[in-house]
Amino acid sequence: MTIAAKYENGVFKPLEKVQIEEGVIVEIYVPQAEKAKPRSIRDTGFAGMWADRDDITDGVSYVNRLRDNPRS
Asked if 18 and 3 count as a contact pair (C-beta separation under 8 A), the reply is yes
6 SS3 class: strand
Q: pLDDT (tens digit, 9 = 90+) per residue, 40-63?
A: 877 777 777 777 888 888 888 888
Q: Is the pTM of this model over 0.85?
A: no
Question: Apex CA 49: angle with CA 45 and CA 51, to 5°?
Answer: 140
47 SS3 class: coil
Q: Which helix (H) or strand (E) holds 12?
A: strand 11-14
CA–CA distance, 63 with 14 (Å, rounded to integer): 57
Q: pLDDT (tens digit, 9 = 90+) per residue, 23-38?
A: 999 998 888 877 777 7
